[in-house]
Amino acid sequence: MGSMAQRTWGGRFEGEMDPLVQEYTAGDDADLYEFDIAGSIAHARMLGKQGIIPQEEADRIVAGLEAVLEDFRAGRVTWRPELEDIHTHVEVLLREKIGPVAGKLHTARSRNDQVALLNRLLLRDRTDAIVRAIERLILVLAELAERHAADPMPGYTHLQRAQPVTLGHHLVAYAEMLLRDRARFLDARRRIDVMPLGSGALAGSPYPLDREFVARELGFSAVSRNSLDAVGDRDVFLEFLAACAIAQLHLSRLAEEVVLWSTVEFGFVHLPDAFSTGSSMMPQKRNPDVAELARARSGRVVGELVNLLMVVKALPLAYNRDLQEDKRAAKAAAATLLATLDIFAAMLPELRFDLDRMRQAAGSGFVLATDVADYLVRKGVPFRQAHEIVGRLVREAERRGCDLADLPLEAYRAESELFEADVLGITVDAALAARDLPGGTAPRRVREAVAAIRAEVAPPSLG
């Protein structure tokens, strides 16, 4: 049988397609056979149930599709580029198993709504996998945050030491980011979970289809309401890719902190051998390659989003071949994000924090200046005036080459008689304990936040 006869659209064409065209237009769906065959089985069962084709033929088609699926799973299928995509491969393989009746599978179905269905099955699968991976990483961060709920470190703004926080509080910040990522994926999943089959090429179908039956067979919660939109819409891909990009950027921020903290200049973290590399020339080096690559690969994921945004821009309804680029973008972005989530979940528990160095850094660099200003505010001094007084104290400490805590009481009283000996008792631990309000860095509040995070993700949202 020639390749023209095996194509689903070859009736009005003569001759063979140029091999360059075959290669250029080939789809990126060879690995999506599970989804395509699941959709075809549900469609065939519906055709038989509705009497659109004889039940016996529907049963033969279903049995044939199940045999084709086993061939794919066992690695017995050889990919044939001239067959274009997974849909044609399945149909040709089905015909080889059950004969001409295989041609009835495409009754009341267009390649357009078939593709739209595969797309949503793919996105639902990848979304569920990503949500589970996010939840695993959140729980890793929660465990570390609880362990370090009372361990101080400097908090930064503009990458300058600002105020003391706890390491646990810092780690909870990333858990909160990931919780938002999880919520974005779960929200997008509601719109992914709409079954488009039955939309035909663009105008619906003249056959008495039971679309709700197919939706139930495939686990969808709704069917699409507009056939033009169902075959031409790629919003679900754009939402999915946007969620992937934001999540990967969050991981890139965490990666950057691992890179910084592992430098000699910071010295907050010692990288484990299993998650770092050395230098071919400098024997002392320990390089944070995992974090650096995670940081770099955010560009890939953002790029896939921008790519598909430009594909969809100004496309007229309904289907256009441009939309073939959707699956490649989604699969690439999902693969990068999933790999990064998994390796961070494995790496973070192996990091060794230098808690003594972090504590020392949390008390130096004038990070308690705001607490000294707050001391005056509690004595009735307007904050702006207190800010100015403490600014002069910082300047005096810089002149003497010491920190605020090392200034004598006389230096404090020279700026304000409201300072008493207890000002010298302002410490890192006291500053942390003072921020004892919801969302604050006090150890008690960090532990509360960890408990709330665990309650939100356990039990997991998806089975």
Q: Which residues are catalytic?
A: 158, 279
10 Å Cβ neighbour count for 170? 22
Q: Which residues contact 119 (CB under 8 A, 6 or more apart)?
A: 236, 237, 326, 327
Task: State residue 205 phi and psi, 5-degree precision.
Answer: -135, 145
Q: Which residues contact 180 (CB under 8 A, 6 or more apart)?
A: none
H helix runs in 205-234, sequence order? 211-218, 227-232
Peptide bond into 459 cis (omega under 30): yes
HEC states along 33-68? HHHHHHHHHHHHHHHHHCCCCCHHHHHHHHHHHHHH
Task: State residue 415 phi and psi, 5-degree precision.
Answer: -95, -30
Q: Which residues contact 192 (CB under 8 A, 6 or more apart)?
A: 120, 123, 124, 127, 236, 240
CA 347 vs. chain centroid, Å, equals 17
| Rounded-to-integer distance, Cα 194 and Cα 215, Å | 8
| Rounded-to-integer distance, Cα 135 and Cα 140, Å | 9
The amino acid occupying position 394 is V
10 Å Cβ neighbour count for 396? 16
Q: Which residues contact 345 (CB under 8 A, 6 or more apart)?
A: 133, 136, 137, 140
The size of the chain, in residues, is 463
CA 56 vs. chain centroid, Å, equals 45
Q: What is the CA radius of gyration of the chain?
A: 30
420 phi-psi bin (left φ>0, alpha ψ -120 to 50, beta other): beta
Q: In angstroms, how far is the first alpha carbon of the chain from the final one? A: 45
State the residue for tokens 């197919």.
214
Contact 222, 195 (CB under 8 A): yes
The three-class DSSP label of residue 397 is: helix
| Crossing angle (nearest 10°) for helices 235-261 and 111-147 | 30
CA distances from 116 to 100, 242, 250, 350 (A): 26, 19, 30, 43
The amino acid occupying position 192 is I
